[in-house]
Structure 1
Amino acid sequence: MISQPLIGKAALITGGARRIGRAIALELAKAGADVTITYRNSRTEAEETLQLINQLDRQAVALECDVRSESSVRSAVANSINFHGHLDVLVNNAAIFESAPLDQLSVEQWDAVFETNTRGPFLAAREALHHLRASHGRIINIGSLGGLRPWAGHAHYCASKAALHMLTRAMAKAFAPDVVVNCVAPGWIDFGEEEAQTAADRFAAKTPMQRNGTANDVSQAVVFFASSSDFITGQIMAIDGGLGL
């Protein structure tokens, strides 16, 4: 029998239409949760993800949402509550990853990354907090190994994820004892993209576990935080096969 520790729970995953977000949505559904996913530009992928969740006999809805916008986030949280009736798990996954030389970064590039990667999780958590307090729920932020280790070609991304890690810890203190807050920080995740194969091979060779991470590695960590003891809070869990050691 498959363990379903999240039966009766409702989860909201920002950026849940594809890649890591899709894997998280499906893993939460396999664990028994009904699911809301948000998307900004990935409507077709969102519909595909809904079909996959429905095949798992879970209730699911996809909502268009721009996590940079206060009103858009407020609307998405309200519509998720209207659909499920409650909210137990918020996964702040929506993010921008960009490469750029630090000495050539524009203010617009810097702000765009922080608007999505740091302000977005703040807005989603703030809007969901009342409902999560009522359910003694969980917030799980998706950080990055780049928030723990400096990557010279991704300074604005690294800084935004480091800020999200600190925001996780601040939320854990501010929202306790009603809401548990943790963070999953993936290292290199291999999506099987041909254009990234050279880099993937290089990272796998540098990783103690001699392979790259998968979206499933990340999603299993999310389910752990969604269903584990409420005495585990304020933690940043690196999912990197030892790459950051």
Structure 2
Amino acid sequence: MPKLAHPVVLVTGAARRIGAVVVRRLHAEGFDIALHYHRSKAEAEAVAAELNAIRADSVRTLCADLADDAGLTTMVGEAAHWHGRLDALVNNASTFHATPVGSIDRAAWDNLFASNARAPLFLSQAAAPHLAEHQGAIVNMVDIYAERPLRDHTVYGMAKAALVALTQSLAIELAPHVRVNAIAPGAILWPEHGKADTERDAVIAATPLKRCGDPEDIASTVLWLLRDATFVTGQVIRVDGGRSLVL
């Protein structure tokens, strides 16, 4: 295939976990990947080497701190310049930690809003002209806790609520040339700091499908929203085994 036959997608937080699974799935479906990472350099380079061995020059790694607004614009420009186009943006990167009321400070606010709300806005703004040239799409990773708060996670819930609002607002602002949607994952991968086994068992027991999801469930939904859902915009797709119905 000619190089320009491959659509280019920028995926943030894509070196590990769900982000890396999304990257592999999109790559297998013919996308070229601008793979963003911040601190996970070794993992990012390993994914890039693996996929470039399958299709040469199909993955480029981009390092950026999502709290650096100027760096976000630069990263989008590099992604678009790489093969002369940018067709999609997946705002996957997310920071998650507790902020019990009484201990919340400006640093926690800035940290949680940087990756979960502010960076998706400025990345989308910078990417929008490039995406519009190719009837492109944006997918944001949100959370059911944007609607139904999780105890001790006030700031995280606020940031994800802002991202839901951003998704819906951009769907109007960027129409008709760019579609914007979001995914709210359920129990897919547990937080790296972990939950107790009893907590995990309780979550699974309360989920109608009685099991955890798989990162491939998220990757498949990303692919559908980017490539196939051509009449879908402004939506939050819950991929949670029905858990949101019983929270």
TM-score by length of 1: 0.92
Moved more, 136-145 or 46-55: 46-55
What corresponds to 1:111 in structure 2? 110
Give the total of aligned pairs: 239
What corresponds to 2:229 in structure 1? 229
What corresponds to 1:3 in structure 2? none
What corresponds to 1:205 in structure 2? 205
Q: Which deviations, in whole Å up to 9, do the C-alpha atoms of 1:15-73 show, x marking residues without a partner? A: 11111111111111111101011111110110111123224426000010112212211
Q: Which runs of 5+ in 2 are unaligned?
A: none
Structure 1 runs (4+) greater than 3 angstroms displaced = 191-197
Q: Which runs of 5+ in 1 are unaligned?
A: 1-6
* Mapped pair 1:75 → 2:85: no
Give yes or no for contact 1:185–1:237 (8 Å, CA) kept in 2: yes
Q: What is the alpha-carbon root mean square deviation over aligned residues?
A: 1.8
What corresponds to 1:64 in structure 2? 63
The amino acid of 2:52's aligned partner reads N
What corresponds to 2:19 in structure 1? 21
What corresponds to 1:51 in structure 2? 49
Q: Which deviations, in whole Å up to 9, do the C-alpha atoms of 1:95-115 show, x marking residues without a partner? A: 101123123212221221112
Q: Which deviations, in whole Å up to 9, do the C-alpha atoms of 1:183-213 show, x marking residues without a partner? A: 0111222359795361322211111111112
What corresponds to 1:184 in structure 2? 183
The amino acid of 2:172's aligned partner reads K
What corresponds to 2:137 in structure 1? 138
For residues 192 and 19 of structure 2, what CA distance do their matches in structure 1 show?
A: 17
Q: Which deviations, in whole Å up to 9, do the C-alpha atoms of 1:151-187 show, x marking residues without a partner? A: 0121111111111011000000000000000001112
The amino acid of 2:37's aligned partner reads Y
1:80 CA displacement = 1.1
For residues 192 and 105 of structure 2, what CA distance do their matches in structure 1 show?
A: 28
For residues 225 and 70 of structure 1, what CA distance do their matches in structure 2 show?
A: 26
The amino acid of 1:119's aligned partner reads R
Give yes or no for contact 1:191–1:214 (8 Å, CA) kept in 2: no
Q: Which deviations, in whole Å up to 9, do the C-alpha atoms of 1:107-147 show, x marking residues without a partner? A: 22122111221000001001111100111100111111221
The amino acid of 1:183's aligned partner reads A
Moved more, 118-127 or 95-104: 95-104
For residues 174 and 222 of structure 2, what CA distance do their matches in structure 1 show?
A: 19
Q: Which deviations, in whole Å up to 9, do the C-alpha atoms of 1:198-239 show, x marking residues without a partner? A: 132221111111111222111111011011232100000111
For residues 30 and 13 of structure 1, what CA distance do their matches in structure 2 show?
A: 15
1:148 CA displacement = 2.5
Change (3 A) 1:52 1:145: farther
Residue 182 of structure 1 aligns to a residue whose secondary structure is: strand
Give yes or no for contact 1:200–1:212 (8 Å, CA) kept in 2: no
Moved more, 193-202 or 64-73: 193-202
For residues 80 and 43 of structure 1, what CA distance do their matches in structure 2 show?
A: 17
The amino acid of 2:201's aligned partner reads D
Residue 38 of structure 1 aligns to a residue whose secondary structure is: strand
The amino acid of 2:17's aligned partner reads R
Identity of aligned residues (%): 33
For residues 126 and 13 of structure 2, what CA distance do their matches in structure 1 show?
A: 16
The amino acid of 1:86's aligned partner reads R
